[in-house]
Structures are given as C-alpha cells and as structure tokens.
Amino acid sequence: MKRIGIITSGGDAPGMNACIRSIAKYCLNNKIDPVGYFDGFDGIIDGRSIDLCFSDVDNIVQKGGTILGTARCEEFKTKEGRSKAISTLKGNNIDALICIGGDGTFTGANILSSEMDIPVIGVPGTIDNDIAGTDYTIGYDTALNTVIEAVDKIRDTAGSHHRIFFVEVMGRNAGFIALNSAIASGAETVLIPEELTDIDAIVLDLKEQSKGRRSSIVIVAEGDDGGGAKEIMDKVSPLMQRYSLRCSILGHIQRGGSPSAFDRILAGRMGAFAVEQLQNGVYNVMVGIKGGRLITCSIEDGIRLNSSPDLSKLELLRNLRTLG
Ligand code: ATP
C-alpha cells in the first residue's frame, strides 16, 4: 500500500475535513502517500488531484465543509465515466481509494470496486444518518445540534406571538434529524417519512395542546409523505383559522458549521480505521460504528438494509406533550 486516493462525495457534512485530516496524517505517519481528488468522482474522472502533505491538513479539524470539495457527478453513473475514473487511478498509481459520503457515494464506490482491481473502502459522511451499516454517520450530530439551536430561537418568537411554527428540517428518506431534534428541542409534534401523516389528527392534537400552552413547534422532515412544512401548514390552515401559523425552512444552514466534538472524534477514528483496514488487506467494505465499536461490513449490506430511527421515540414524544 503506497498511494491511497481520497474523495468526499455527495452532500457535504461537517466533519469531512476531520476525516480527510485523519486519513492523510495516518497515511503520512505510515509511509503511505495520501492523494486527494477534488469534487468527488468528478475529480477522479478529470484527473484533478493533490498529493496531500501535513501542512494541507493542519488546522482543518474544526472546519465545516470539505477542503477537497464535493459534487453530485452524473457522468460517474455511466460505464464510460467510470472507465475514465479507473484510467486516472491506474495512471496515478493509486493502490486503494477511500470514499467519504452517503449511500449514493457508497453505491458508486461499490460498482467501481466490481469493475476494477483497486481496493475501495467507504467512510459514512452524511448529515442524514441513513446508512444502516453504522449507528452514526459523520456530520449527523453537528446537523442535529444546528437544528436544535435554530428551533430554540424559533420557540422564543413563537412563544411571544402565540404562534404555531412548522419547521422543516433535512431528511429526504429518513427522519433521524426530525425525530431526534423534536425530542431534544421539546417540539410538540413531528412528521417523518417513516409514519403516515394524518392532517386531521395533527389539527386535533395541536388544538388540544394549545389549551395548555402559548405556542407549538411542529418539526417536519422535508421528505414527509404529507409534504414539506409549507405544504403541511397550507393543509392545516383552513382547519385552524383562529390560530396564527407560520413556517420556517431551515435549509442549508444544517449542512454548515464547525463539527461537534462527537463528529470530530468519530471522523478521526473512522478515517484512521479505514487506512488500517487497507493495510490489513480488508477492502471493498464500509467502516461503521456499532455500540461504540468500529466495525466493517460489506457496502451492499450497509446500504441495502433499511435504516430508520428508533420509532419508539414517537411514543416518547407523545408522552412529553402538554395537554389540557
Ligand atoms: P447525501 O446522503 O449527503 O446526499 P450521497 O453520497 O448519498 O450523499 P448522492 O448524490 O446520492 O449523494 O451520490 C453521490 C454520487 O455518487 C453521485 O453524484 C454519483 O456520482 C455517485 N452515484 C450515486 N448513485 C450511483 C449509481 N447508482 N451508480 C454510480 N454512481 C452513483
């Protein structure tokens, strides 16, 4: 193992830099050259890369985003695109590739590994936490904390004006951020893709809860079957004409910011662990953390099994409401 390629791909997530740093430093301290490719699979196809040295990755552990850049690369979904990528990797004498990203990145990495003899390893980096092969993905904890901070502020104004706020958070397919931020921010209701949304039941519940409090917060995952926060509010509005309703879409602030301690430590551990696996001849797997311990599992298994939050927390939320 002489040269290891690294990409960050898909949506950016806080802690990706801490992971790049960990991989690069672990490599350099073990006489391996770390090569960073810019903008995910795009950079491999185009041959845009940097031979990383210590100074490139110093002072980035605290930075959000990714110094390598990321992209959603359509060309990589074609056989021709992947052939170009393989030529680049071979031309650059890359012995293994580490892909930091979400389930899409892992799907691409898995297909690539089946088409070439260069080992591949996936490190879960996405704010969505929707990869079954790990309890936590890099970036999720920071995003959750960002949401909580924002909802705390919204609650201040909601309380002052006696309003019901529908707050939209990220989560196209999974309700991890929505459900856990709802519990942590003391929200009254949460709508997630894993549970069918019943508008009449929401209205009834909000009316009941409004008897005992000045304001309410409804957290809505962007991928909820009933629609986003604006759509839900528009459906609820005619049934609650005497109430003051507002919606707030948190959007891309959820991706940014300095990573939390949890994400920095997770990224540091996973990055070094990935290189260690390659040194030990373990590859074409993803790394993950289960019950606090670093593990590997096949990429296929890691993304095939459905990943959903602990739905018993819905019952917890219902029992934490203020009624009557
Ligand atoms: P996030 O969870 O933050 O959205 P992600 O890794 O799931 O991250 P995607 O945009 O779904 O983000 O995937 C990242 C990239 O992986 C895509 O732009 C594409 O280059 C590659 N990819 C995704 N699906 C495939 C596929 N079926 N075949 C080949 N490559 C793929």
Q: Can you give the residue ranges of every domain in the chain?
A: 3-139+259-304, 141-255
For the stretch 8-29, pLDDT in tens is 999 999 999 999 999 999 999 9
pLDDT of residue 121: 98
Q: Ligand 1: does its nearest atom lie under 6 Å from the Cβ of 101?
A: yes
Ranges of residues in the chain with a pLDDT under 70 are 324
Q: Which of 128, 205, 224, 263 is catalytic?
A: 128
pLDDT of residue 324: 63
Fold annotation for 3-139+259-304:
Rossmann fold (3.40.50)
Task: Report yes or no: 152 and 204 within 8 Å, Cβ to Cβ.
Answer: no
DSSP secondary structure code for residue 284 in this structure: S
Q: Ligand 1: does its nearest atom lie under 6 Å from the Cβ of 77?
A: yes
The token duo for 28 is 């350099």
Q: How far apart are CA 230 and CA 105, in angstroms?
A: 30
Fold annotation for 141-255:
Rossmann fold (3.40.50)
- From the CA of 106, give the closest atom in ligand 1: 6
d(CA 157, ligand 1 centre) in Å:
38
Q: Ligand 1: does its nearest atom lie under 6 Å from the Cβ of 105?
A: yes
pLDDT of residue 213: 78
pTM, 2 dp = 0.95
- Fold match, 3-139+259-304 / 141-255: yes
Q: List the one residue out of 159, 149, 232 whose CA is nearest residue 189.
A: 232
**Residue from 9, 103, 114, 142 whose mutation best tests the ligand 1 pocket (most atoms within 8 A of CB):** 9
For the stretch 182-241, pLDDT in tens is 999 999 999 999 999 999 999 999 999 888 778 999 999 999 999 999 999 999 999 999
d(CA 173, ligand 1 centre) in Å:
14
Q: Ligand 1: does its nearest atom lie under 6 Å from the Cβ of 12?
A: no
List of residues 6+ apart from 148 with CB closer than 8 A: 181, 184, 185
d(CA 103, ligand 1 centre) in Å:
7
